[in-house]
């Protein structure tokens, strides 16, 4: 069995353990003592009337920019009319697509395929899903050719 610890041994063991902690605590207290702190340099601020004048100038500039955008919006792309009147033979639609191939190659390629799909009648009549896919591919080709822009991108407006 081990010998019992005397009171003096316990005090010295406690002092060895606690002394580094008390030294660190004394250093921290000395740092946070208000007498040891140096005052911070005052922050330069503009007078209230100057700040208000600058804010009004920024607001006026923003209103001017907004009114310019609303007066003449800027859109990317070009306007092209490619509509077929009712009863027009599909050969004329194909001719119209071929004439636009120079300016809109992707759209012309997709439109040529779409004409073949949309001409189906009876059992070859296109389904709703086929019409959706065809319309989606036409829109994507028109966007690729720059005829329309992605409406979700606000930067294009």
Q: Answer whether 80's CB lies under 8 Å from 101's CB.
A: no
pLDDT in tens, the chain (157 residues): 578 888 888 888 888 999 999 999 888 888 777 776 677 777 778 888 888 999 999 999 999 988 887 777 666 666 665 555 555 555 566 777 777 778 888 888 888 888 877 777 777 778 888 888 888 888 888 888 888 877 677 665 5
Burial label, 54 (beta-carbon count in 10 A; 0-12, 13-18, 19+): exposed
**pLDDT in the model for residue 61:** 94
Q: Please state the separation of Cα 20 from the chain's center in Å.
A: 53
C-alpha dihedral (129, 131, 135, 141), degrees to nearest 10: 90
Going from N- to C-terminal start, the domains of the chain cover 7-33, 90-156
Phi, psi of 101 (to 5 degrees): -60, -35
């Amino acid at each position: 069995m081990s010998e019992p610890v005397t009171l003096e041994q316990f005090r010295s063991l406690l002092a060895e353990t606690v002394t580094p902690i008390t030294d660190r605590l004394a250093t921290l207290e000395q740092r946070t003592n208000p007498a040891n702190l140096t005052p911070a340099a005052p922050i330069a601020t503009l007078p209230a009337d100057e700040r208000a004048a600058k804010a009004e100038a920024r607001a006026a500039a923003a209103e001017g920019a907004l009114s310019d955008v609303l007066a003449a919006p800027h859109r990317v792309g070009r306007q092209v009319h490619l509509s077929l009147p009712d009863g027009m033979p599909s050969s004329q639609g194909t001719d119209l697509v071929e004439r636009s191939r120079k300016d809109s190659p992707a759209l012309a390629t997709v439109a040529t395929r779409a004409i073949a799909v949309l001409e189906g009648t009876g059992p070859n009549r296109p389904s709703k899903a086929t019409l959706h896919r065809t319309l989606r591919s036409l829109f994507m080709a028109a966007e690729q050719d720059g005829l329309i822009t992605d409406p979700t991108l606000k930067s294009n407006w």
